Chains A and B, each alone.
Chain A
């Protein structure tokens, strides 16, 4: 930066940054604080930021009240399968979309954009009816299928960007050296794409792990429900929520997403923009 900023302006900038930091952080800090508070402090009319007698009881009580572990396993199964299937089928398609400029690629790109504007209402009723025909309502398999398709637009978007970043000359050079088409893809292109594919899979994982609407509509049996749906059971009737266990369970449900996201943040923001700039 060669443009000098005056001292008062700098101070103003730091003050503004501080306001943003507080705004972004305080709800989460409050969630964590509530999760470790004993019932007496939660009932107090003067709640404090830092629990005076921090306790782990809320976590124990939360898992007693609702089948959290079971729900977490359902979520994990759904999110892992959806993420894996999504990248396995999206990567070849993204490759074609990035390398071949034909009407199919154009239509696929169009679908990626339009699907962002789908109102879920218009899709969920037919999906419900279609899955019902195949007896896939109230089944994790049906939910996984929905999650796969639902994560495809973003996965394609990201992967097309990553494929474009691999110079075609590398593939041509391999072809000149006598490598077959498949051989080139496996030993030249795939290794270069690997980090992008991993990031995309992890992002698909978070999206599915966090998803609520489809899971709410498609899963009715409590033992099949995913974590976000089970969390809403804590809310119960209006206003009578048991705050401590609610906060504890919500905190636990967030941890996997936060950790995974922290790992891939740079790649995701970079990939999003790469796809956007060159599409």
Chain B
């Protein structure tokens, strides 16, 4: 889609043809892989959703129209998994934002040991997701885990098997999700805070505004764009997340933590239902886009009204 529009534009642009050809030469090495391995697969994947493609089948793949989507509509397992995915994405993104905001506000203060917090915040960010999952399995381990040991020390009972309990599995993995994504959110919010005009803070303080009022009237408006963007991104990333939960519970117990990505992965690569799994992907994109559009439009309107 880009080549035609860019050429049409170059005809009108003031830059000379030579410079423009130079620009193409610079862009092509990245553009070709992007088209073949990113844009192409996305379109191809969308098309697959309307076929009966299966892995390892000898008969040719056929167009089946909306049949996959009709099947999906009645697939209660998929909708269960979708509901869990939403619970997980909201359950991770919201506390993550609040905790990260708190930490960013602290790091923006002139406190000692700030460097230590910054250094420690690297750990969740740099770690492979698989290792994060393994690490928390050690924390949650029913016998050798530190969590149960602490519970026993505090005299709160014998502890439990957090990751295999029907009631505790989802909250337990959500906590891991919050931990793993906190650094990025904190760093983004901290950068927003450091762009807040300091004079406004002082003026508000002189006028006798308390800490909460200063936050509401000075800090929040300044960091709101960053906050909106990072929450929206977190929500998408979390909804599409895979490795953490794959390692922690593989979707168990009884599908209580089976995120949509895990479900689609099983359909595609365990049962070979490529077309059906692609249809799931399409539904995920569609629902998430609509939700995000509502969220962003609602927030932007709210900003205008104020």
Contacts and interface: CB of A to CB of B under 8 A. Distances in A.
A165 interface: no
A26 B146 contact: yes
A231 B263 CA distance: 22
A164 B158 CA distance: 58
A273 B278 contact: no
Give chain A's interface secondary structure class.
helix
Interface in B223-247: 226, 229, 233, 236-237, 239-240, 242-243, 246-247
A44 B15 CA distance: 74
Contact of B127 (A23, A124, A213, A258): A258
B30 A121 contact: no
A123 B45 contact: yes
Interface in A206-259: 206, 209-213, 217, 227-228, 231-232, 234-235, 238-239, 241, 243, 246-247, 250, 253-254, 257-258
B70 interface: no
Nearest to B23: A96
Given A125-B281, A181-B22, A241-B137, 13 more contacts: A3-B202, A17-B106, A20-B103, A21-B120, A103-B2, A111-B34, A122-B42, A123-B42, A126-B42, A149-B37, A228-B129, A231-B130, A276-B191
A269 B144 contact: no
Interface of A: 1-3, 5, 9, 13-14, 16-17, 20-21, 23-28, 30-31, 34, 42-47, 49, 88-90, 92-93, 95-96, 100, 102-104, 107-108, 111, 115-127, 129-130, 145-146, 148-150, 152, 156, 181, 206, 209-213, 217, 227-228, 231-232, 234-235, 238-239, 241, 243, 246-247, 250, 253-254, 257-258, 260-262, 265, 269, 272-273, 276-277
Contact of B247 (A21, A49, A125, A232): A232
Contact of B110 (A1, A116, A126, A239): A1
**Interface footprint category on B:** 35 or more
A40 B57 CA distance: 51
A243 B141 contact: yes
Nearest to B12: A102
A49 B146 CA distance: 8
Contact of B117 (A24, A89, A108): A24
A89 B40 contact: no
